[in-house]
Structure 1
Amino acid sequence: MLISKRWQIFTAAPHRVMFFGGALQAVAAMVWLLAELGSRHVLSWQAVAWKIAPGVAHPWLMIYGLFPMFMFGFLMTTYPRWMKGREIAPRQYVPAFALLMLGLVGFYAGLLFSHAVLIISVICTLSGWGVAQNALLRVLIDTPRQDKRHPQIIFIALCLGWCGLLAYLAWLWGGDASWLRLSVQGGLWLFLLPVFSSIAHRMIPFFTASALKQQPIASPEWAWWVMLAASAGHGMLEVNGASVWLWLCDFPLAFVALFLANRWGFRRSLQVPLLAVLHLGFAWLGIAMLLFALQSFASLLSHGNTMIWGLAPLHALTIGCFATLLIGMATRVTLGHAGMPMKVGRSVYVLFVGLQLAALLRVLADMLFIAVSPWLHFVAGIVWLACFVTWAVRYLTVYWRPRSDGQPG
């Protein structure tokens, strides 16, 4: 009886199950990566013979394993509120959660034991993703006519993410590297960045005005469309191997991101930690795109013969921007939908700062001397792991406890 009650509480809202799975994946993915870094570059352990190269497993674990769990938890919670629709029922999100988790567990098992298991795990993930998308689509279709541009664009980006996952399956099946390139670059620029930038454009000004008790903050739509167009342009250039021209998209995206960060009140946001983490995450977008732009322009000047910062711009984007926004939004939703005050304790505040340190260390690892890079990679991974373990310890138990205010959900 107790187990049945706990399960009812755990599955009472989509963010409970999805954030639970996402938090476990944030820890598991970094444990796997640290084991790999340690075995090959730092601690001289016996290297594991994975069924696919770690360099192509890592993008899947992050792009298609980690971020979608949190995204679906957030969107299944906010879509009905954005559009005044019905709450998404457990019969829609619980199967999606189960399939996504099965895909994650299967992927790790496949890395160790079998290429065929990898293929099956990706098919499970595609299935769970499709079930989750269908639930969001029903909200879009069934709600009254209104301004649905943000949820519509986010839904399109999720569909493109599903296609990127399908491209990964095609690579696993046939070994054609062009499918892998499409999967990774499409996942970053046609899926992740459009989703994060759209959620930020809609929610950060709202949260800022509410937290700082000021008039509504203008969030110009032209800036949002520039971000979407520039992201899509960057992705298409990457897929076609035209990296020397990325600066044509990246300079405008960097300018718009930094313009919005200032427009939304970056400095004032630092007064409120739960708000500051969202502003810090978005500010990383401007920094990352500026690094991308400068690297691309330098490559153009040298006729494609230099990558001055390697993967530094990419990790400024993925850790600095995406992971920071993820943990900021997940914390807000967890607190708000558990009936808890919108405040964080010292440990969570240190966690927010620690994630910035992880991003900085990972960026520096590609900018500094090759001799110290493996150690900085390893330390950055340890800091990431410490941050997400701290977050998991603090909030995972919330997901199988009733709301503190007695409300449903």
Structure 2
Amino acid sequence: MDSPLRVDSTTFSPRLLAAAPHRLLFFVGAGNVLLAMAWWTLWLVNARWPQFAMPQPAIPAGWMHALVMQYQVLPPFIFGFLMTVFPRWMSLPALVRWHYVPVGFGLLGGQLLTLVGLWGIPSCLYLGLLLTFTGWLVGLVILLSLLWQESKTTWHAISAAAALFFGLIGLGLVFAYLFTGNPRLMFAAIKFAAFGFLLPVYFTVNHRMIPFFASVALPDYRPFKPMPALALFWFLTLAHLGLELVHGYAWLWLCDLPMAALCLFLLVRWWPRSATMPALLRVLLLGFAWLPVAFAMYAGQSLWFAATDQYLFGRAPAHALFIGYFGSLLVAMVTRVTQGHSGRVLELGPTATFAFVLVQAVALLRIVAEVRVDALAWQAVAGIFWLVAFTPWVLRSLAIYLRPRADGKPD
């Protein structure tokens, strides 16, 4: 275990980023939240109201938006969380710097090079994706080594590691596209990211941590973590992924209706019966509530397609999932972990409240954009709202990661 860094609590110190995995990797992720969306929002605004010529990236901009958000913006948060909790879940020693610093370097360098590549330097784009793949692979190998060492079976850890492996496959598909130019490979890479990687990681963490957080906040709360629900989830999400890959949209409702029902059942069971609850717990549950909504929308879209051969609402269900579920829980989970691991009071606070509320507006704007005549304008406005929502939250978070714990304890 690394010795704690001794730094004056009134000053910022980049050295502190190496003190714990969540510090470094959450720092990387928080920066990516703004950098990646700044590029995409500028692209949308300039596409709708042209002011100057933006370079067309080597990979079409819409595809790059999907790749960057799914493979570069959210993964640092995921690796930072999992490299913190895996040893705790398995009763193993905490990871040290040489474990997580290379992962942070790979994911940060990959994001920065990719963004440079988006401005017309294809070689940087490819190097960025390669560096992302390398950092991801190192992180996955380290987490798998912890699974190998544990003496018991931690199903949540196995589930999260499996999702990271699916994500690595998806990145591999991106490189296969770069070598072949086959658009089906890029389509598969984007779907692997959503339904093979992000959704399973988020659901796995929710399944374990929401009942735990609730039991800590509410003494009389009885945790509910049925393992068959996790197994059923994996069956349903892989079924959805398989149908997406073969364009079986008319049959998605067969897995999406049960998925919506499963998530609604868990939401009802997890929701405390007490009249009041801490705001941090409330936003976790409200963020999770987007999941049954998103899959109900997917199911409705599928049933309508089966009946009429019309693809109604476009990508509205996807953005209920991506912005509503992933975005809301990004704010809720990262705020909860950041507050706890920085020695601060476990409270939502005004900055995170602002971000969470505005993310709900962003999700609704992006959903409505699919049925508006001037859809591109609505998408651009949604991007601007995203930046407004996250900028104060990101700046506050970055400052916390660069300061010692508020309670004076070591990380």
Which bracket does the TM-score occupy, shorter chain normalised? Answer: over 0.9
Q: Note the 1:3-402 alignment, pairs <5 A.
A: 6-41=13-48, 43-51=49-57, 52-143=59-150, 145-265=151-271, 271-302=277-308, 305-366=309-370, 368-371=371-374, 373-402=375-404
- Cα 1:269/1:114, change in 2 over 3 Å: farther
Mapped to 2, the partners of 1:270 and 1:158 lie a distance apart of 36
C-alpha distance after superposition, 1:307-360 (max 9, x if no partner): 211100000001111111122111111111111110132232222111111111
Structure 1: unaligned runs, 5 residues or longer: none
Q: CA shift at 1:44, angstroms?
A: 2.3
CA distance in 1: counterparts of 2:306 and 2:292, whole angstroms: 21
Gaps of 5+ in 2: 1-5
Number of residue pairs the alignment of both structures matches = 403
Query: Are residues 328 and 267 of structure 1, via their aligned partners in 2, closer, same or farther at CA, if it must alter by over 3 Å?
Result: farther
- Give a deviation string over 1:236-270, Cα, whole Å, max 9, x none: 11111111111111000000011111110167587
Decide whether aligned partners of structure 1 residues 334 and 369 sit closer, same or farther in structure 2, where only a CA change above 3 A counts. same
What's the % identity of the aligned pairs? Answer: 36
Tell me the distance in 1 between the aligned counterparts of 2:276 and 2:331: 16
CA distance in structure 1 between the partners assigned to 2:228 and 2:185 by the alignment? 33
Does the 8 A contact of 1:40 with 1:47 survive in 2?
no
Residue 287 of structure 1, CA deviation:
0.1
Once the two structures are superposed, residues 351-392 of structure 1 have per-residue CA deviations (whole angstroms, 9 ceiling, x without a partner) of: 2111111111111111x3223x22321222122111211111
Letter in 2 for 1:318: F
- For residue 74 of structure 2, what is the amino acid of its counterpart? F
Specify the code of the residue in structure 2 equivalent to 1:319. Answer: I
Paired residue secondary structure (2:293): helix
Query: In the superposition, relative to structure 1, how do residues 113 and 268 fare at CA in structure 2: closer, same or farther (>3 Å)?
Result: farther
**How far is 1:26 from its partner?**
0.6
Q: 1:347 to 1:5 in 2, by over 3 A?
A: closer
Moved more, 260-269 or 67-76: 260-269
Give me the whole-angstrom Cα distance separating, in 2, the residues matched to 1:324 and 1:269: 23
Could you say what secondary structure the match of 1:113 adopts? coil
Root-mean-square deviation (CA), in Å? 1.9
1:337 and 1:403 in contact (8 A); partners too: yes
Give the AA of the match of 2:107. L
- Give the C-alpha shift of residue 215 in structure 1: 3.4
AA aligned to 1:101 is L
Q: Aligned partner of 2:337: which letter?
A: V
For 2:162 and 2:7, how far apart are their aligned partners in 1?
41
2 CA distance for matches of 1:212 and 1:2?
35
CA 1:266/1:249 → structure 2, altered by over 3 Å: closer, same or farther? farther
Q: Secondary structure at the match of 1:241?
A: coil
Counterpart contact for 1:29–1:61, Cα < 8 Å: yes
* Conservation of the 8 A alpha-carbon contact between 1:171 and 1:179: yes
Aligned partners of 1:269 and 1:275 also within 8 Å? no
CA distance in 1, matches of 2:155, 2:17: 32
Moved more, 210-219 or 127-136: 210-219
Q: Which runs of 4+ in 1 moved over 3 A?
A: 1-5, 266-271
Does the 8 Å contact 1:354/1:384 carry over to 2? yes
